[in-house]
Structure 1
Amino acid sequence: MLTVSNYHYIRENFDAPFLSIFGVTPKLFEKQLLLLKKTGTFIHPNDLISNPDKIIKSKQNYILITFDDGLKEQFELAKPILDQLKIPALFFVNSINHIEKKVSLVHKIHLLRSQMSPSKLLSTFAAAGPKFIIALSTLEKRKAILHYNYDNEESAYLKYILNFKLNIAEQSKLIDSIFDHFFNEKKVIETLYMAENQLTILAKEGMLGSHTHSHMALGLLEPELIEDELSKTKHYLKQLTNTNIVSISYPYGSIEACAKPVSELAQSLEYTIGFTMERGINTGDENKLLLKRFDCNDLPGGKNEKFFKDEYSFIYK
């Protein structure tokens, strides 16, 4: 069986005017790795890629550590801990940060939310015109709370509106102008994302994967745009590192974000392993391009570890 733990931000503190960027400190990261070690055996991404059935169908619990978004803090703060403990991991990166020197829209939103309350942002959107006054249905509110289960309701609704009710052009129109008032994009690029030499190191160690080009919910796009998102990063990383990238993590990872034909197009581009954010342990019946992952908070040492202990108590027997 395969248990996958996913991480984003790794930093010493998360102080900001408003809570919007969540993650773990290096100390808590190391503590969780040691707790996970008691439940199974860490594997290298190459082991999974070369023989996924052996890993997933095994009665033994194998554990894979993954990181999304290609953040510099992952390389500088998390990787030294992994190296010290001799634990491999898989780092998924977006190519827009390197090819176009742009901050991913999702990170612009995170940074803005750290400076503005959800209500303030929504009122700013409404001021942009009637089309940006969006009310969620009861079902959509439930989906928002379920998907963004670590946020309060107001923040969850804001995230759902941005990610699932507005297209990329609409999001960019709203966010870009506000972002430029608070941040210098060039400086954010330099400090937030891994440098190309760091990507090359990860590739040489067999620990680099694609998180698509611009971090969009692929399942909401037209097929040609999905293919473009999947192929750009693969091509960029191959040119940069002389490595064929065959693993992918789908941005957002929800059912909507991974809907057909996402995995089919990924397969056509010769990706062989793909990860969603559907919670659960992979036991053998899964599509190898739609594997399940836990947010790190769902696992031992996380904020919601009771879920894992309740649902997967057999791991501890």
Structure 2
Amino acid sequence: MDDTHFAPPSSLRSYARTSALSMALGSGVSHWLAHRHPVRRILMLHGVGDARMTPDDFLRVMSWLKQRYNIVPLDAMIHDVMARRPAPFGSGKSELAITFDDGLRNQYKIARPVLEQLGIPAMIFVCPGMVESKQWMWNHEARARLRRLSAGALAEWAAAAGCEASNLETTIAWMKTLSFPQRQQAQSTLREHTPGFVPTPQEHEAYDPMTWDEVRACDQGQLSIGSHTMTHPILPTLTEAEIQRELHDSRSMLELQLGRAVDLFCYPNGSTDERVRSIARSLYRAAVTTEEGTVSEAVDPMAIPRIPVTSHLPLLAWRMHRPWA
């Protein structure tokens, strides 16, 4: 009897995919495919410093990008896009912009020094309401509290909250579908089920927002600040008045603190609808989404796609050609 242990099909597929991506990177195929078309690219990052993007990973990824792309400020790229200027292409000429969502302190402490060292421009989209209150974004707090619950406690909370989700990420996804009052109620119930919650040092590093001094420091030199709403709500779940307030007040508070116009916006969670885009169009020059794609000359300025960053260079190299990979 043959007792050889075979890897499950999913593991084999993952290994084959990883091997193929590594070969594409090593052979130069990824690089060639990415630079043969005249498109611009905007990269999307969030937190920096955890296992998914360690400080060493971040330095390595940014150094790799700088060697292969012409990294430009997002403001300059959008200006050229809206002026219908053709995108440069070719190795070292293809334009790339770097963006960060959420205005986290780790972006100031870890990402900023690397970007300044390498001379790489970037934009950080900030929620000024969270800076002002010094509170975490609601989804970060919910994740941290949900991790404290045992399986039994999670089931008890889910029943109390009316949630049918079975794990952390599906629970967060469910909370994103709720109206604002419903989400507030679910959060309140979650807090009641985690009365002894105290953030760990690692959670503080991952989720703490910047201070105003740090935000202002990130609006100098190579870096700049954009608007990300006041409190990072899921905008389509709000009333039109609430959407207007989130977008208008965010811009106003940032302009007051920075002493300049702030006319670039990022939709929290990438969530948008016709009402949201209409209000955004009345207040901002352009807005980026979480939709995966490259930036063509025909792009809607209020729905500009981006490419999610990964620390795995073979996959990142392939995403520059196939953003949805």
Aligning the two structures, in what range does the TM-score lie when normalised by the shorter sequence?
0.7 to 0.9
Root-mean-square deviation over aligned CA pairs: 3.0
Unpaired stretches in structure 1, ≥5 consecutive residues: 15-22, 137-152, 313-317
How big is the shift at 1:306? Answer: 7.2
Q: 1 CA distance for matches of 2:68 and 2:153?
A: 42
Is 2:162 the counterpart of 1:162? no
1:125 to 157, 168, 173: 157
Query: Residue 9 of structure 1 aligns to which amino acid in structure 2?
Result: G
Map of 1:287-298 to 2, 5 A cutoff? 287-297=300-310
Distance 2:141 2:176 in 1: 13
Matching residue of 1:47 = 76
1:308 pairs with 2:319: yes
Is the CA contact (8 Å cut-off) linking 2:134 and 2:211 kept in structure 1?
no
C-alpha separation in 2, matches of 1:97 and 1:189: 15
| Count of aligned residue pairs for this structure pair | 276
Distance 1:283 1:207 in 2: 23
TM-score by length of 2: 0.75
Matched, 1:227 2:244: yes
Correspondences of 1:53-72 after superposition (within 5 Å): 53=82, 57-60=86-89, 61-72=94-105
1:173 and 2:188 are equivalent in the alignment = yes
Higher mean displacement: 166-175 or 61-70: 166-175
Percent identical pairs in the alignment equals 21
> What is the match of residue 109 of structure 1?
142
Deviation, structure 1 residue 177: 3.5
Match of 1:280 among 282, 293, 297: 293
Which residue number corresponds to residue 258 of structure 1?
272
Counterpart CA distance in 2 for 1:229 and 1:4 is: 24
Instruction: Specify the alignment match of 1:3 in structure 2.
Output: 41
Distance 1:175 1:274 in 2: 33
Structure 2 spans left out of the alignment, 5+ residues:
1-38
2:188 maps to amino acid: K
Identify which range, 27-36 or 85-94, moves more after superposition: 27-36
Cα 1:156–1:237 change in 2 (3 A) is: same
User: In structure 2, how many angstroms separate the alpha carbons of the residues matched to 1:161 and 1:4?
Assistant: 28
Q: CA deviation at 1:184?
A: 6.4
Deviations along 1:180-225, one digit per CA (max 9) or x if unpaired, are 521269x959981111111112234461011111111112221111
SS of 2:43's partner is strand
CA contact (8 A) 1:227 1:265 kept: yes
Deviation at 1:97, TM superposition (A): 1.6
Q: TM-score, normalised by structure 1?
A: 0.77
Preserved CA contact (<8 Å) 1:35 1:300: no
Give the Cα separation in 2 of the matches to 1:24 and 1:56.
Answer: 34
Distance in 2, matches of 1:93 and 1:291, equals: 18
Find the partner of 2:212 among 196, 203, 213: 196
In the TM superposition, residue 278 of structure 1 has moved relative to its aligned partner by: 0.5
